């Protein structure tokens, strides 16, 4: 049995800001405002810690699986910092095409809705958190932040 999650209300609010497989982290604030310890150091996989969250609803963590490579792996692997990845120097996740099929590049800032679609297109699955029903309404501002 497979359950589907309704992303209406949050699917376009949260944006990808960090990946440490099998987890993808999404933020409600701008990527230029989101930070974490060691995010300015490369390679991120050795220096970067999880994203900071000032409020309980600022960061959303989802699990994923599928044939997706992180920035440092595969044929075109790169040693980058989180800040470099979050300005678009390389995708956070990508597929490798050995047979000239469609390549998927999942960049920083992609919405949760689009992330889910691309992971599924790659043959993977995204798993929603247990407390999904407790997510904030899109109109509710983050504590200390004005509504966007």
Closest CA relative to residue 131, chosen from 20, 65, 57, 21: 57
Whether the Cβ atoms of residue 86 and residue 109 lie closer than 8 Å to each other: yes
Domain membership of residue 108 (yes or no) is yes
The beta strands (E) that lie in the chain are given as 15-20, 23-27, 59-65, 93-94, 105-106, 125-127
Whether the Cβ atoms of residue 39 and residue 79 lie closer than 8 Å to each other: no
User: pTM higher than 0.85 for the full model?
Assistant: no
Domain membership of residue 141 (yes or no) is no
- pLDDT at residue 10 in the model: 78
**Full pLDDT tens readout for the chain, 148 residues:** 455 666 667 789 999 999 998 999 999 999 999 999 999 999 999 999 999 998 888 999 999 999 999 999 877 778 999 999 999 999 999 998 776 667 899 999 999 999 999 999 999 999 977 666 555 555 545 544 444 3
- pLDDT at residue 142 in the model: 52
Q: Rounded to an integer, what distance in angstroms lies between the CA atom of residue 38 and that of residue 50?
A: 9
- pLDDT at residue 66 in the model: 92
- Which one-letter DSSP state was computed for residue 66? S
Domain membership of residue 139 (yes or no) is no
Q: Tokens 């050795």 label which residue?
A: 46
Q: Rounded to an integer, what distance in angstroms lies between the CA atom of residue 74 and that of residue 65?
A: 16
Number of residues that make up the chain: 148
- pLDDT at residue 148 in the model: 38
Domain membership of residue 10 (yes or no) is no
Domain membership of residue 109 (yes or no) is yes
Burial of residue 135 (number of CB atoms within 10 Å: 0-12, 13-18, 19+):
middle
Domain membership of residue 32 (yes or no) is yes
Domain membership of residue 140 (yes or no) is no
Domain hosting 63: range is 15-133
Cis peptide before 36 (omega within 30 of 0): no
Burial track 59-82 (b if 16+ CB lie within 10 A, e otherwise): bbebebebebbbbeeeeeebebbb
Greatest Cα pair distance, the chain, in angstroms, is 49
Number of domains the chain is built from: 1
Domain membership of residue 102 (yes or no) is yes
């Amino acid at each position: 049995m497979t359950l589907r999650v309704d992303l209406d209300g949050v699917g376009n609010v949260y944006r990808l800001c960090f990946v440490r497989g099998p987890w993808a982290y999404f933020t409600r604030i701008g990527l230029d405002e989101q930070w974490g310890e060691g995010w300015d150091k490369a390679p991120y996989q050795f220096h970067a810690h999880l994203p900071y969250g000032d409020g309980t609803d600022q960061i959303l963590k989802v699990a994923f699986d599928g044939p997706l490579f992180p920035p440092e792996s595969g044929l075109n692997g790169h040693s980058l910092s989180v800040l470099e990845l979050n300005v678009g120097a390389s995708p956070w996740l990508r597929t490798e095409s050995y047979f000239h099929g469609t390549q998927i590049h999942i960049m920083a800032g992609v919405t949760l809705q689009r992330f889910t679609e691309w992971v599924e297109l790659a043959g993977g699955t995204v798993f929603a958190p247990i407390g999904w029903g407790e997510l904030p309404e899109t109109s509710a501002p983050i504590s200390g932040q004005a509504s966007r």
